[in-house]
Amino acid sequence: MNGFFDLPSDLQHSYLGLVGLHLREALLPVLAGLLVSLPIAQLCVRFRWIYPPVLGITTVLYAIPSLAFFVVLIDYFGQSETTVMIPLALYSLVVLVPAIVDGVRSVPPETLAAAQAMGLGPVRRYFQVQLPIAVPAIVAGLRVAAVSSISLVSVGMLIGNQGALGNMLWNAQTYHRPALAVNSVLTIAVLGILVDAALVVVRLLLTPWMPRKGAAR
Amino acid sequence: MIRIDGVTKRYPDGTVAVDRLSLEIPDRAITVLVGPSGCGKTTTLRMINRMVEPTEGSILLDGRDIRQQPVNTLRRSMGYVIQNAGLFQHRTILDNIATVPRLLGWTKQKARARAAELMERVGLDTALAKRYPYQLSGGQQQRVGVARALAADPPVLLMDEPFSAVDPVVRKGLQDELLRIQDELGKTIVFVTHDIDEAIKLGTKVAVLRTGGRLAQFAPPAELLSAPADSFVEDFLGADRGIRRLSFFPSRELELQTEPIVAIDAGADRLASRATAPYLLVTDLDGRPLGWSEPDRLTAGAVEPDRLLDFGRPFVPGTDSLRTALDGAVLSPTGWAVAVDGEGRAVGVVSQQVIGEAIRAAHGRVAEQADVGAGR
């Protein structure tokens, strides 16, 4: 029983089980990051002066090594998935906040003026005009955040079996099975590419109104 | 009626955009606000739908202060057209036009039916309904902008330099279309432009504003051209206001001559009978003008159309103004203008001299009316 996709039992998952776990640990933080970024970005658009400090804070958060987060978070959440996902969510902010801010700011001023003049209040303007028009920029941010999160999940192995596919790297060493490491790296790369492609499809579905390259007018 | 009453807009940094402006904007007519950049015309327009709040003064709509109703209710009762159209790029043409009806709670079906009706009204092919704005030309987008403003049939239409960003040919088409729609719908339109020609063409009344947001003159376009209030207005109107003013003098009463018109197949005796005229206008067999000739250069049965003199641009008496008639006369080397009917058949000719007399007569009438108007 030493096939390419046969995993040592201490990983506690089948290959596909690890893939599912990996996606959950990578993408839930990005989703959480998106939910946090939306109001933060809106504040940055509304009050221009808070944008530079917010950018500074997200950059500093991104610069903190995940190990440092783990040391603190283990006290509260133990050696759990949550401990791995919280830093990942914080890391995603450095990409998502500027992406949303740029997207919302890309709405042409005359479009906003027209919306206001037609009697759309601030809430309607945000949900019916600014947010839909920001979708391409937001999805572009999500693509970077998702792919980087997929590769970062692996560090979870440092706190004991919380790195999903990354745990295979540890096993490769312990059991002298380099194939496990190759499998881990390849699978993570493929997941990254597939998730990225899926987000491109989502964007195409959400934005039928965007000029298509090469399409006839 | 919209009444702007002593309105001032002063910004926190001390800039005065509009300075004690008072205007009575007549119902069911186009009132144009025109002036150089920084004259506060857009600010004034935006105060009418409260996108800008005045520092002093008030604006009344049908006698009621506009601040007495909820701001979004006010805005939904006023159509708004903006430069570059400001369409929602993420919505189809149909849904763009249906925006305000949907806000007012119409069903999707009813709002879209109304939107389709408006597309036809503004001269858009309904095949474009499911397209997105990026698939339309600038002129078409602007038409969508007008349709969107008209969607909920608001009594008031605010237009902020709506045609400035399109090329001159398209702009002329849009202006003509607006005048046609206005003939049918009779909205109260406030129209902002920096283009004095556009102001004169579209305006029932024109308010000329000067830098600093002060009113220089508020008058019908013909009066603006004949009696500019001061040198600012005069400069703003440009060098050829005398010629442009002729646009407001009808050509209906010009005395046309028909004797100098001969058909290309005219016989020798007919040509001889007209030989006293300085020039003869030769027409084709349907009566359409071909060109001018001196009588002694014409030989019966041997008229060569390409050797005739240019007849300039003909005018249609009653429809065209004295400006068009004079233009036709000046364009032709003979100094005579050709009058044609709707089908382009020559109905008469008139000399520069006669047009000049008509201009003098028209001036006289305007002066008389001004005297009567002033109670003298």
A50, part of any domain: yes
Counts of helices then strands in chain B (DSSP H, E): 14, 15
Chain A environment of B145 (Cβ under 8 Å) = 114
CB pairs under 8 A between A and B: 73
B273 interfacial to chain A (CB closer than 8 Å) = no
Which one is predicted more confidently, A56 or A176?
Answer: A56
Q: Does residue A3 lie in a domain region?
A: no
The mean pLDDT value for B110-137 works out to 95
Structural domain containing residue A23: 9-214
pLDDT score of B350: 94
* Chain B residues inside the 8 Å CB shell of A133: 88-90
B55 at the A interface (CB within 8 A)? no
Sign of CA dihedral B232, B236, B239, B243: negative
Contacts of B75 in chain A (CB under 8 A): 116-119
pLDDT band at A217 (very low <50, low <70, confident <90, very high): very low
Using the Cβ of B232 and the Cβ atoms of chain A, whether some distance falls under 8 Å is answered with: no
Going by pLDDT thresholds of 50, 70 and 90, the confidence category of residue A61 is very high
Encode pLDDT of A168-199 as tens digits: 888 888 888 888 888 889 999 999 999 999 99
What's the whole-number average pLDDT of chain B? 92
Comparing CB atoms, the residue among B71, B82, B92 nearest residue A114 is B82
Asked whether residue A62 is domain-assigned, the answer is yes
The answer to whether position A64 is within a domain reads yes
Q: In the predicted model, what is the mean pLDDT of residues B11-17?
A: 93
pLDDT at B375: 56
List the B214-219 sheet strands across, edge first: B78-82, B156-160, B188-193, B30-34, B205-210, B214-219
pLDDT at B373: 59
- Residue in A closest to B104 by C-alpha: A119
Predicted pLDDT at A175: 85
Give yes or no for B193 touching A (CB within 8 A): no
A114 and B100: CB-CB below 8 Å?
A: no
Looking at chain A, the whole-number percentage of residues with pLDDT higher than 90 is 65
| % of chain B with per-residue pLDDT over 70 | 99
Instruction: Please return the burial class of B113, using the count of CB atoms within 10 Å of its CB with bins 0-12, 13-18 and 19+.
Output: middle
User: B198: closest CA among B35, B61, B371, B370?
Assistant: B35
- Residue A215: its pLDDT value, please? 47
Model confidence at B276, in pLDDT bands (50, 70, 90)?
A: confident
How many Å apart are CA B98 and CA B279, to the nearest integer?
Answer: 60
Task: Give the mean pLDDT of B180-199.
Answer: 95
Which chain A residue's Cα is nearest to B45? Answer: A117
- Residue B219 φ then ψ, to 5°: -155, 165
**pTM score:** 0.83
Q: How far apart are CA B171 and CA B176, in angstroms?
A: 9
Q: Is residue A2 part of a domain?
A: no
A124, A127, A209: which to substitute to probe chain B, counting the most B Cβ within 10 Å? Answer: A209
How many angstroms separate the CA of residue B113 from the nearest CA in chain A? 19
Q: In chain B, which residues have their Cβ closer than 8 Å to the Cβ of A208?
A: 132
Q: Tell me if A95 is assigned to some domain.
A: yes
Q: What is the CATH number of the domain that holds A209?
A: 1.10.3720.10
| Chain B positions in Cβ-Cβ contact with residue A209 (cut-off 8 Å) | 89-92, 132-134
How far is B171 from chain A, CA to nearest CA, in Å?
19
What pLDDT is attached to residue A171?
81
Q: What is d(CA B74, CA B69) in angstroms, rounded to the nearest whole number?
A: 6
Grouping H, G, I as helix, E, B as strand and the rest as coil, residue B193 is strand
Shortest Cα distance, chain B CAs vs residue A43, angstroms: 22
Most confident of A6-15, B206-215, B241-250: B206-215
Residue A71 to residue A81: CA distance in whole angstroms: 14
ipTM of model? 0.83
Nearest CA in chain B to A208: B90
CB A92 within 8 A of CB A30: yes
- CA A59 to mean position of chain CA atoms: 15
Q: How far is CA B315 from the centre of its chain?
A: 18
Chain A residues whose CB is inside 8 A of the B80 CB are: 114, 117-118
Contacts of A126 in chain B (CB under 8 A): none
**What are the φ/ψ torsions at residue B31 (nearest 5 degrees)?**
-105, 125
The answer to whether A97 touches A40, Cβ cutoff 8 Å, is yes
Instruction: Please check whether residue B89 touches A, CB under 8 A.
Output: yes
A154-168, B2-16, B150-164: which has the minimum mean pLDDT? A154-168
Q: What is the pLDDT of residue A172?
A: 83
A214 pLDDT exceeds 60? Answer: no
* CB pair distance less than 8 Å for A117 and B78: yes
pLDDT at position B301: 76
Return the pLDDT at B376.
52
Average pLDDT over residues B44-49: 96
Summarised one tens digit per residue, pLDDT across range B47-81 is 999 999 999 999 999 999 999 999 999 999 999 99
Q: Looking at the domain assignment, is residue A192 inside a domain?
A: yes
With bands split at pLDDT 50, 70 and 90, how would you rate the model's confidence at B298? confident
Chain A contact for B80 (CB, 8 A cutoff): yes
Q: Inter-chain contact B75–A129, Cβ cutoff 8 Å?
A: no
- pLDDT (tens digit per residue) in A114-163: 999 999 999 999 999 999 999 999 999 999 999 999 999 988 888 877 77
* Residues of chain A contacting residue B83, judged by C-beta atoms under 8 Å apart: 110
So what's the pLDDT on residue B196?
A: 93
Share of chain B above pLDDT 90, in %: 76
Q: CB of B346 within 8 Å of any CB in chain A?
A: no
Best of A106, A107, A112, A118 to disrupt the B interface (most B CBs within 10 Å) is A118
B128 touches chain A (CB under 8 A): no
Closest Cβ opposite residue B76 in set A118, A129, A210 = A118
The C-alpha of B148 sits at a distance from chain A's nearest C-alpha, in angstroms, of 9
Tally of domains within chain A: 1
Confidence of residue B172 (pLDDT cuts 50, 70, 90): very high
| Beta carbons of A100 and A134 less than 8 angstroms apart | yes
Q: Does residue A4 form part of some domain? A: no
Q: Identify each DSSP E strand in chain A by its residue range.
A: none
